[in-house]
């Protein structure tokens, strides 16, 4: 049965160390994390689980990405051999706390717009099969304090529309196409 899920935020703060450890070494014995945060079932932990289910590809189209927990999940997928591509907004990628530099440094392909309008999407596509989209920017502030929604949709029609949009933007933001004015 295809996944159909709606996540609402704010999410209680939670520890995702165990989720990350399991994803890094499936089957290995996990040690409880010494941090004081609960590791229960929250909107954030559900979002992380969906992302960590990626086996082949993860396409990210994110206006703002400053949440270190989500950045660690993305880095882990990249290390595990998942093909990660990230499109973001040029005006927000440089803001304090942005994780874009860290992800680029880790070797992840990042592209951004060169224009005045915002690249305001907030979606992810897992294995060209599962669409994760909504109002949520990937910031700790949004996750913990805002009213937000995220839809998880495994429906070929919706996924294809977003995958096509991703490929259009990926090509449009190819640095080879940049124009520079004096």
Residues lying near a copy of itself in the complex (CB under 8 A): 4, 6, 8, 10, 63, 113, 116-123, 133-136, 141-142, 145-149, 151, 155, 157-158, 161-162, 165, 169
Assigned token pair, 181: 């004015």
For residues 71 and 121, what is the distance between their CA atoms, to the nearest angstrom? 17
For residue 171, the minimal CB distance to a copy of itself (Å) is 13
Q: Is there a catalytic annotation at residue 127?
A: yes
Q: How far is the CB of 4 from a copy of itself (least distance, A)?
A: 6
Q: CA-to-CA distance for 57 and 12, rounded, in angstroms?
A: 29
In angstroms, the CA 29 to CA 36 distance is 21
Count of CB atoms within 10 A of residue 14's CB? Answer: 20
Q: Enumerate the β-bridge partners of residue 96.
A: none
* Comparison of 46 and 72: residue with beta carbon closer to a copy of itself: 46
Least CB distance to a copy of itself at residue 109 (A) = 18
C-alpha span between 147 and 140 (Å, rounded): 13
Q: Which of 122, 155, 160, 164 is catalytic?
A: 122
Closer of 26 and 157 to a copy of itself (Cβ): 157
Closest CB to a copy of itself among residues 25, 164: 164
Residue with tokens 């709606």: 6
Could you tell me if 23 and 52 are in contact, meaning their C-beta atoms sit under 8 angstroms apart?
A: yes
Q: Least distance (Å) from a copy of itself to the CB of residue 132?
A: 12
- Please confirm, yes or no, whether 122 is among the known catalytic residues: yes
The first and second tokens of residue 162, run together, are 């977003």
Q: Which is nearer to a copy of itself, 75 or 137 (CB)?
A: 137
Residues known to be catalytic = 120, 122, 127
């Amino acid at each position: 049965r295809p996944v159909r899920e709606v996540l609402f935020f704010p999410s209680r703060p939670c520890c995702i160390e165990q989720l990350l450890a399991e994803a890094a070494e499936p089957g290995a014995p996990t040690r409880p994390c010494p941090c004081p945060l609960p590791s229960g079932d929250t909107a954030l932990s559900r979002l992380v689980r969906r992302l960590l289910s990626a086996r082949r590809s993860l396409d990210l189209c994110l206006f703002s990405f400053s949440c270190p927990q989500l950045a660690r999940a993305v880095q882990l997928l990249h290390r595990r051999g998942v093909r990660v591509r990230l499109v973001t907004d040029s005006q927000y990628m440089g803001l304090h706390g942005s994780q874009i530099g860290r992800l680029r440094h880790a070797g992840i392909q990042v592209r951004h717009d060169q224009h005045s309008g915002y690249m305001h999407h907030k979606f992810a596509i897992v294995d060209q099969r599962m669409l994760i989209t909504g109002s949520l920017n990937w910031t700790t502030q949004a996750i913990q304090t805002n009213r937000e929604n995220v839809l998880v949709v495994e429906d070929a029609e919706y996924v294809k529309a977003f995958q096509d949009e991703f490929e259009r933007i990926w090509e449009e933001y190819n640095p080879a196409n940049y124009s520079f004015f004096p």
